[in-house]
Structure 1
Amino acid sequence: MAKKVKLDPINQEIDIQTNDNLLSGLLAKDLNVWKECGGRGMCSTCHVFITEGMDSLSPVNRREIRTMEVITTANKCSRLACQARVIGEGVVVEIPSGMYVSEIENIEDLIGSRAKENILHPINGSILVEEGKLVTRSMITQLKDTQIEVSEYMAKIQDA
């Protein structure tokens, strides 16, 4: 049986089957949520905030706790959408604003422009470039280094 999940701040609802994770519904809506680690709970690209209905989700597991310990924007309302299964009604999800550096196809194209939204680190959720900031060559180097770091990290966890 499907449960209604409300999405803030876009004020939409999605249906998610009982015991399915939040990520499945968010991906079906083409929202700014990724699954860099393949839904294994090891990155922050599906990090969301639960503003209502935390008790209508499955309990937080050890892997999720460990991953959320490194997410700099995490708080008591944080969950990884890939690990949070919907078990009841009344869930309201807020998606963190910004885009993950792994979503950018050609980083070089950003030089000299202002970031249209926060650019986030896919492992710890930190802001690499703030919205509205001018993107400089040194920022590009940092973003490229971050992409390499993330690729190496993901390769390591895929082999584990």
Structure 2
Amino acid sequence: MTQLTFLPHEEICPHGAVIEVEPGTSILEAALNHGIEIEHICEKSCACTTCHVVVRQGFDSLAPATEQEEDLLDKAWGLESQSRLSCQAQVADEDLTIAIPKYTINLVRESH
């Protein structure tokens, strides 16, 4: 099992969270399965940037991003060198520390 540490996010995960998941699981699936509601308006199809996360530790253990993911990441709010789309980044054997950005470019939220 691989440990994922989600840093606190004001709305989505106020106290942070530490979860364990099987390698091969996407960061988004792992989060959703543990009640961490990361936005994903394209339903995990790598067509938007709302599930953008920053991998603070363990980034190098992830498989490289595809060209499609890289193109989308260029549009993400708060892009950093260790940014990934959580729907595309699959957990490997190394523990990860993940930050969820404060904002997304999703201008329409059904929950608001």
Q: Same fold (TM over 0.5)?
A: yes
Structure (1 or 2) with the larger CA radius of gyration: 1
User: Could you tell me how far apart the structure 2 residues matched to 1:104 and 1:98 are?
Assistant: 15
**Which has the higher relative contact order, 1 or 2, with Cα contacts under 8 A spaced 6 or more apart?**
2
* Structure 1: gaps spanning 5 or more residues: 107-160
Q: 1:105 to 1:8 in 2, by over 3 A?
A: closer
Equivalent of 2:109 in 93, 103, 114: 103
Instruction: State the TM-score, normalizing by the size of structure 2.
Output: 0.81
Q: Deviations over 1:5-47 (max 9, x none)?
A: 1111234211221111100011123324122111111211110
Structure whose residues are more often helix by fraction: 1
**Given the superposition, is the C-alpha separation of residues 105 and 52 from structure 1 closer, same or farther in structure 2, using an over 3 Å criterion?**
closer
Partner of 1:127: none
Structure 2: distance between partners of 1:74 and 1:32: 20
Q: What's 1:49 paired with?
A: 54
Question: Under a length normalisation based on structure 1, what TM-score does the superposition of the two structures give?
Answer: 0.59
Q: 1:55-70 maps to which residues of 2 (within 5 A)?
A: 55-70=60-75
What is the aligned counterpart of 2:94 among 89, 96, 112? 89
For the aligned residues, what is the CA RMSD? 1.9
Q: Is the 8 A contact 1:49 1:79 kept in 2?
A: yes
Q: For structure 2, which runs of at least 5 residues remain unmatched after alignment?
A: 9-14
Judge which range, 30-39 or 81-90, deviates more.
Answer: 30-39
Asked whether 1:28 is paired with 2:33, we answer: yes
Q: 1:34 to 1:105 in 2, by over 3 A?
A: closer
Alpha-carbon deviations, 1:76-107, whole Å to 9, x = none? 0111000100112221000112474432446x
The sequence identity of aligned pairs, in percent, is 25
1:1-160 equivalences under 5 Å are 2-9=1-8, 10-98=15-103, 100-105=106-111
> How far apart, CA to CA, are the structure 2 residues paired with 1:29 and 1:98?
21
Q: How many residues align?
A: 105
Question: Once superposed, which parts of structure 1, at least 4 consecutive aligned residues long, lie more than 4 Å away?
Answer: none
